[in-house]
């Protein structure tokens, strides 16, 4: 099939490359000329495992092209995905200016029947808004489909290629059939394609992210209670997770959720529920718990040291999670800002996010060339992101580099008894 994907970010680029990999002709459109130039040279602007190779292969097979010219994409494609950002607006709602602007521009370029697919995460009613805008701008026939994306950064290609489910909101049977055909190669292993109305499809994405955020905040609170009463959250988590009604996913305590999705989607769901006079109390608590959790390590540092003035703190991990360079809403940001406000000296390292970190912190912190270099003269190490390369470090080398061997592990990647045996003072989340 001939496809256009508008927006070449984490979602659009992955979707475009994966659709091309299954034999479709895909034109990726982005308004950022620098990004498009980079993509045309076979380079990708983000870190996502496997993506560069996929893009390169499909580019050289001529199934994947990049352009800033939306019109070219629209005129040459049957199905047009909108995969642009929906950031948080001033009142907490999803800012739809990019989605609606793209819808208008698509309509102006149409020269026949088109299926316009909302892949961006958008609140209920957006498909209807897109439909109204397009109808005002063109006399050509069209259908609007809601197709929320559930991929995870860091495993995005796998998630797109082998989804747990594909949700398609479509009120028009012709568009629904086209979408089913497009996705059938991705669901050969039996994942369901779920057809529904657009409003339900739009809500699916928010409900799924809100549920995952709820599990994280819930477990973070359980860990904090463990700290308070002297229980071990590892034992508690195992026991809870082995209940088949609950299961093990998203029950790891940590420093709070971040990224471009959970924080903004929780906010947007609170906002659109509130706009209909529904007070979504659980979700309010999920957000408040998360904001507090992002500073939990700072509280632990202050409880240990008293004053942080002049303390040299090494930070391992800046990205909001491993296997990405994304620092949007990353817990590392308020945590480091809190340390700096308390006059600590921060020496940070992340395997992928250093460039992004420099654009956030500038010269306020120092950037180490590797995780050991960050430890030089440190009064403590704070672990914020659980990159695999931090899991089995050279403990003797760490002790030698640090001024005092104190670790604050925000991701529970080590065993407390092992760390103590190695000579570290070790603080983690919810474990004595
Ligand atoms: N990142 C994720 O893990 C993820 C997962 C599922 C869903 N989503 C949702 O998908 C959407 C996109 O997210 P993302 O992380 O890919 O965003 P992103 O910020 O990484 O990428 C958005 C891209 O759209 C481009 N763009 C903006 N306006 C444009 C326009 N008018 N014309 C052409 N291009 C334009 C930007 O230049 C940018 O390259 C959001 O709604 C997000 O909530 C994201």
Q: How many residues does the chain have?
A: 432
* Residue 147 CA, ligand 1 centroid: distance in Å: 14
Catalytic site includes residue 198: no
To the nearest 10°, the Cα dihedral for 233, 238, 241, 242? -160
Strands 366-367 and 345-349, bridge-based pairing: parallel
* Residue 260 CA, ligand 1 centroid: distance in Å: 10
Determine what percent of the chain falls in helix, strand and coil, rounding each to the nearest 5: 45, 15, 40
Task: Report the C-alpha gap between 10 and 48 in whole angstroms.
Answer: 8
For residue 387, the number of C-alpha atoms closer than 13 Å in the C-beta half-sphere is 21
Strand order in the sheet with 312-316: 366-367, 345-349, 312-316, 380-383, 406-409, 425-427
Task: Report the C-alpha gap between 378 and 219 in whole angstroms.
Answer: 30
Q: Where does ligand 1 bind, in terms of residues with CB under 6 Å?
A: 6-12, 29-32, 35, 83-86, 98, 101-102, 120-121, 149, 151, 153, 260-261
Tens place of pLDDT per residue across the chain (432 aa): 999 999 999 999 999 999 999 999 999 999 999 999 999 998 999 999 999 999 999 999 999 999 999 999 999 999 999 999 999 999 999 999 999 999 999 999 999 999 999 999 999 999 999 999 999 999 999 999 999 999 999 999 999 999 999 999 999 999 999 999 999 999 998 999 999 999 999 999 999 999 999 999 999 999 999 999 999 999 999 999 999 999 999 999 999 999 989 999 999 999 999 999 999 999 999 999 999 999 999 999 999 999 999 999 999 999 999 999 999 999 999 999 999 999 999 999 999 999 999 999 999 999 999 999 999 999 999 999 999 999 999 999 999 999 999 999 999 999 999 999 999 999 999 999
For residue 352, the number of C-alpha atoms closer than 13 Å in the C-beta half-sphere is 20
Tell me the best of 5, 6, 10, 151 to mutate to test the pocket of ligand 1, counting ligand atoms within 8 Å of each CB and taking the most: 10
Q: Which tokens hold the place of 90?
A: 């001033």
Residue 168: its pLDDT value, please?
98
Task: Report the C-alpha gap between 256 and 295 in whole angstroms.
Answer: 9
Q: Which tokens hold the place of 255?
A: 């420093």
Helix (H, G, I), strand (E, B), or coil: what is residue 116? strand
Task: Report the C-alpha gap between 145 and 249 in whole angstroms.
Answer: 30
Report the nearest-CA residue for atom 27 of ligand 1.
84
Residue 189: its pLDDT value, please?
86
Task: Report the C-alpha gap between 383 and 80 in whole angstroms.
Answer: 42
* Residue 408 CA, ligand 1 centroid: distance in Å: 34
Report the nearest-CA residue for atom 43 of ligand 1.
121
Residue 241: its pLDDT value, please?
98
Q: Find the helix packing angle between 51-60 and 10-21, rounded to 10°.
A: 50
- Please give the helix or strand (H or E) that residue 376 lies within, else none: none
In this structure, the number of other CB atoms found within 10 A of the CB of residue 159 comes to: 17
- Beta strand spans in 208-344 (E): 312-316
Cα three-residue angle 325-330-332, rounded to 5 degrees: 100
**Global pTM?**
0.95
Q: Which tokens hold the place of 357?
A: 């970190």
Helix (H, G, I), strand (E, B), or coil: what is residue 156? helix
**Torsion 276-278-282-286 (CA) sign:** positive
* Residue 95 CA, ligand 1 centroid: distance in Å: 12
Helix (H, G, I), strand (E, B), or coil: what is residue 260? coil
Task: Report the C-alpha gap between 176 and 306 in whole angstroms.
Answer: 61
Nearest atom within ligand 1 for CA of residue 8: 39
Give the CA diameter of the chain. 74
Q: Residue holding tokens 């082998």? A: 162
Q: Which tokens hold the place of 153?
A: 């950064």
């Amino acid at each position: 099939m001939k496809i256009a994907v508008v927006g070449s970010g984490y979602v659009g680029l992955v979707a475009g490359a994966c659709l091309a990999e299954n034999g479709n002709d895909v034109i990726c459109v982005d308004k950022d000329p620098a990004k498009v130039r980079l993509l045309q040279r076979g380079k990708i602007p983000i870190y996502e495992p496997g993506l560069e190779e996929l893009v390169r292969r499909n580019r050289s097979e001529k199934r994947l092209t990049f352009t800033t010219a939306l019109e070219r994409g629209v005129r040459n494609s049957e199905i047009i995905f909108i995969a642009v950002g929906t950031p948080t607006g001033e009142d907490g709602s999803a800012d739809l200016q990019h989605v609606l602007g793209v819808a208008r521009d698509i309509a102006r370029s149409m020269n026949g029947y088109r299926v316009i697919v909302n892949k961006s995460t958008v609140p209920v009613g957006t498909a209807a808004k897109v439909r109204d805008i397009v109808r005002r701008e063109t006399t050509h026939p069209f259908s609007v489909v809601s197709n929320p994306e559930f991929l995870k950064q860091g495993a995005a290609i796998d998630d797109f290629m082998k989804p747990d489910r594909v949700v398609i909101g479509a009120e028009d049977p012709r568009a629904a059939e086209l979408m089913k055909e497009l996705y059938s190669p991705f669901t050969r292993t039996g994942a369901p394609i779920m057809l529904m109305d657009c409003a339900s499809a739009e809500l699916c994405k928010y409900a799924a992210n809100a549920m995952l955020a709820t599990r994280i905040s819930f477990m973070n609170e359980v860990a904090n209670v463990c700290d308070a009463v002297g229980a071990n959250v590892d034992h508690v988590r195992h026991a809870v997770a082995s209940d088949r009604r609950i299961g093990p996913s998203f029950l790891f305590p940590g420093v709070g959720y971040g990224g471009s999705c959970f924080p903004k989607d929780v906010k947007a769901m609170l906002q659109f529920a509130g706009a209909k006079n529904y007070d979504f109390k659980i979700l309010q608590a999920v957000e408040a718990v998360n904001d507090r959790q992002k500073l939990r390590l700072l509280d632990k540092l202050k409880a240990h040291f008293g004053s942080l003035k002049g303390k040299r703190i090494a930070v391992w991990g800046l990205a909001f999670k491993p296997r990405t360079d994304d620092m949007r809403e990353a817990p590392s940001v308020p945590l480091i800002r809190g340390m700096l406000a308390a006059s600590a000296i921060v020496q940070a390292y992340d395997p992928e996010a250093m460039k992004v970190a420099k654009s956030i912190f500038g010269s306020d912190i120092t950037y180490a060339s590797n995780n050991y270099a960050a430890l030089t003269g440190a009064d403590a190490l704070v672990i914020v992101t659980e990159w695999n390369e931090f899991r089995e470090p050279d403990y003797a080398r760490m002790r030698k580099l640090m001024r005092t061997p104190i670790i604050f592990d925000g991701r529970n990647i080590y065993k407390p008894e092992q760390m103590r045996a190695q000579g570290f003072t070790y603080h983690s989340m919810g474990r004595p």
